[in-house]
Amino acid sequence: MAWLWGKLTLRRRLKGKEARQELLGYPVASFQPLFAKLRAGIEARGGRVLTDRPAASLARAADGRLAVTPGAAGSFRAGHDPRAFPPADGGEGELYDRVVATVPNDVFARLLDADLRAEVGHAYLGRLGAIEYHAALCLLLELDRRFSPFYWTNVAEPRLPFVGLIEHTNLVEPVRYDGRRFLYVANYLEHGHALLELDADALLARYTPGLRAVNPAFDPSWVRARWLFREPAAQPIVDVGYHRRIPPLRTGAPGLVLANTTQIYPEDRGTNYAVRLGEQAAQLVPAT
């Protein structure tokens, strides 16, 4: 309840101009220009940015540094377990003095080889395993007309099989998308839930009565295109005593830091807090 209270009151703690009315921001050209700028800044300072180069394993090398072995490009499309990633072409492990891992808890635990697991220790691994995530299931529909007049509709009606309707083109006008209209049907589900097994068409069929409950005129013929996205580690579940189980950023293994959404507290996970956490992790790096 303390977490829920925090979530509800956070938006009332806005200061200055925003105190009267909450402002929502939307990057017109998507986040891509920000990422491009960040990459250019890192490279200008001599750093390297390797995209689509997933980590398949982490180990302690003989010289004491950390060895990161890459998986093949695109491995993540077949699943999130790094142990199942095929090796990258010519992908020798690279050695690093420090590693900041920003992957979900279960992915992190699976990256570690036996020796590094022992360094991190049972107590830390136990904390990682004790935090449950709910999966996000996000059905994106392109519609030939407006679904509702609202941008964001939270759905708390248990009869309806989804938890939110976000009609993006009621926030950002369709003219920015060549007149196209988009509706996200949002859901958060416990792992193993039957809806997570459905493909986009089966899910749309399953959702249609619920969409009609919100707008009785809705017909699947309005749907021009659809896309389905699943993220298994979307929402850490905050339960009683959660703050006592949050894994510290320092993993206990020298040089190895973990920073992910389970460490955001008492706020709920969000991009602002990911940036704050990244700064905290970066400050720890020299002394870890």
Residues interacting with ligand FAD, by CB under 6 A?
54-55, 76, 80, 82, 102-103, 107, 136, 138, 231, 234, 260-261, 269-272, 274
140 pairs with which residues across the strands? 184, 227
Which one, 136 or 198, has the nearer CB to ligand FAD? Answer: 136
Which one, 102 or 148, has the nearer CB to ligand FAD? Answer: 102
Query: Which tokens sit at 41?
Result: 């800044």
User: Could you give the CA distance from residue 152 to residue 170 in angstroms, rounded to a whole number?
Assistant: 9
**What b/e readout covers 188-218, taking b as 16+ CB neighbours within 10 angstroms?**
bbeeeeebeebebeebbeebeebbeebeeeb
CB of 154 to ligand FAD, least distance (A): 13
User: Could you give the CA distance from residue 234 to residue 272 in angstroms, rounded to a whole number?
Assistant: 16
CB of 55 to ligand FAD, least distance (A): 4
Which one, 86 or 179, has the nearer CB to ligand FAD? Answer: 86
CB of 90 to ligand FAD, least distance (A): 18
186 pairs with which residues across the strands? 138, 164
Which one, 170 or 261, has the nearer CB to ligand FAD? Answer: 261
User: Could you give the CA distance from residue 277 to residue 224 in angstroms, rounded to a whole number?
Assistant: 39
CB of 91 to ligand FAD, least distance (A): 12
